[in-house]
Structure 1
Amino acid sequence: MTKPDFMMQTYIRCSQDALWDALTSADAVANYDFLGQSAKRTGDTLIYSTPDGFETLHTREILLDPKTRIVTSFEPKWEPDAKTSEVTYLIEAEGDYCKLTVEHRGLAHDPSGGTADGWVRTLSGLKTWLETGQPMQFGGDHLWDEHEGEAP
């Protein structure tokens, strides 16, 4: 397996079931996506949209090892020439916590490095929501305003 272009680990006080559900449920996304996006499921694909309905991302499930590993495509829709890449989520139970590792491979088109910032914000929101039950969205709304409804 190739070295990831981006990797992040965090520990979240939650069960494997709760973390698995948060990562695979379209309904959960609105509780932790840093841009306040929602998602809908179409078969094995999650389609992410901004509050005004602009589709920003499609993620198709490639491999599911229940409660331990998810591999998805990462298909940006905010730029016509953005390349599809691959994301792996690894979930490991450690007592009252889960260790979540996110590995993103194939970031061939990320000129501003914004994908890494997006991951840090999204995973922070995920951790906050799972640990407190309070939805967490912060930062990023200005990205849409600058482009008048289009993703950066």
Structure 2
Amino acid sequence: MTDKPDFMMQTYIRCTRAALWHALNDADSYTHWDFLGQTATREGDLVRYGLPDGPEMLHARDLEVTPMSRLETTFEPKWDDVTTPSRVVYRIDEEGDFCVLTVEHFGLNNDPDGGTADGWARSLAGLKTYLETGQPANFGGMYLWEEHDQ
């Protein structure tokens, strides 16, 4: 695996480190901030993500966990038979009243339309909104699937 991520995004979220860690690791919290409103179920170190009344979309298996500061997972797409698994690292740092969340995606391949960057931007915007307001932040739920079906 390479040392340089294929995609990186960083955002500042006004929240505690514990709140951010919980939102990233608690399957029940995921539905509140995922832009598609996906559901998540955790079975040990495996998290399965799926559309509310649709197919399973993604698997993520914990590879390395350093509580409150670093989470490394697989990124195993289930939406097609072409996209291959990759790896994601979430790093949490603190800066005053804010947490700095850095997401690094390694081994990202077969993304001809650049949908991964859009998905990450939407996901992190939803996470930030949810943690700062306490309100669910699901938006653009059919955006990707309407384009995908055309």
- TM-score (normalised: structure 2): 0.94
Aligned CA RMSD, in angstroms, stands at 1.5
SS in 1 for 2:32: coil
The aligned residue for residue 82 of structure 1 is 83
Please report how far the alpha carbon of residue 2 of structure 1 lies from its aligned counterpart in structure 2 after TM superposition. Answer: 1.7
- 1:125 aligned partner: 126
Range 17-26 or range 107-116, more displaced: 107-116
Aligned partners of 1:123 and 1:81: how far apart in 2?
Answer: 25
Aligned partner of 2:112 in structure 1 is 111
1: CA distance, partners of 2:119 / 2:148: 17
Consecutive unaligned residues of structure 1, counting only runs of 5 or more, are none
CA offset at residue 53 of structure 1? 3.2
- TM-score, structure 1 normalization: 0.93
The alignment partner of 1:31 has SS state of helix
Report how far residue 145 of structure 1 moved. Answer: 4.3
Deviation for aligned residue 1:90? 0.3
Structure 1 stretch 5-14 or stretch 106-115: which is displaced more?
106-115
| CA drift at 1:93 | 1.3
CA offsets per residue over residues 69-107 of structure 1, 9 Å max, x none? 000000000011211000000000112110000000111
Q: Percent identity?
A: 58
SS in 2 for 1:27: helix
Per-residue deviation, 1:42? 1.2
- Give the partner amino acid of 1:4: P
Task: List structure 1 segments (4+ residues) > 6 angstroms apart after TM superposition.
Answer: none
